[in-house]
Structure 1
């Protein structure tokens, strides 16, 4: 699964990089099966549970404070169902820009969760809009794992971290 998804992302990211922005990338890569929530809509919202759908190495570099890591490749429903028992809980799923989080959001919807949102632009847009992120020690950081060099073009604020 991961290899096919990685190949898919690589093929499309080359073309999308030339086009240049997150909205175009999401239009190309997503089906919009999970409603988006914009970063500016998060202000003032209470009782939102954030789920990070990136891989653990990305999460350790930085994540939205209080987010629960659920991963992508090894996503397991059981721990989520145990932690979030109320199916009406407001859940915001995010990844780098919103592609992997849509897939995880779909899985949550199939589990019966009613209020699942995909953070438009993911952690990149969150950071680009002035949002604060923390590292694995819960200390505020400017570093953001950008998945790879190509996707780092979408992060405009912060320190770009990725493995070659």
Structure 2
């Protein structure tokens, strides 16, 4: 007997991918909007949009990773465990991925006006990545408050309440 290749039959296989893709898009939009609202007082809106794009890219990278690790970590627990698991994993993955994006941008910015001998590249790269992470930690994290935190709570609640 021939198996059906309808979208309904394939739904069981594509649902986790669709969930990760759509969740990443919505989480990315929420993080980018949170940063843009925090930077709305800037006179140069093009720079504010560029910073907001970094936040959105970090969130886009973070959501599928957090979802991948949250499913097995929250398995066997109740709604409260699922809520706090996703809250912790999505929050830390978003901060880590966004910090990584800021560090890469710092390397690209510095590389455009630095010319180092080959033996100093490792030291320069290490220092520049640390500067980018520091910049994000000191200046960037505050842009997640209060809107990003509200979105994080909403996404965690969604994860806790959705059927397994």
Q: Shared fold (TM-score greater than 0.5)?
A: no
**Larger Cα Rg: Structure 1 or Structure 2?**
2
Q: Using structure 2 for the length normalisation, give the TM-score.
A: 0.26
- Structure with bigger strand share is 1
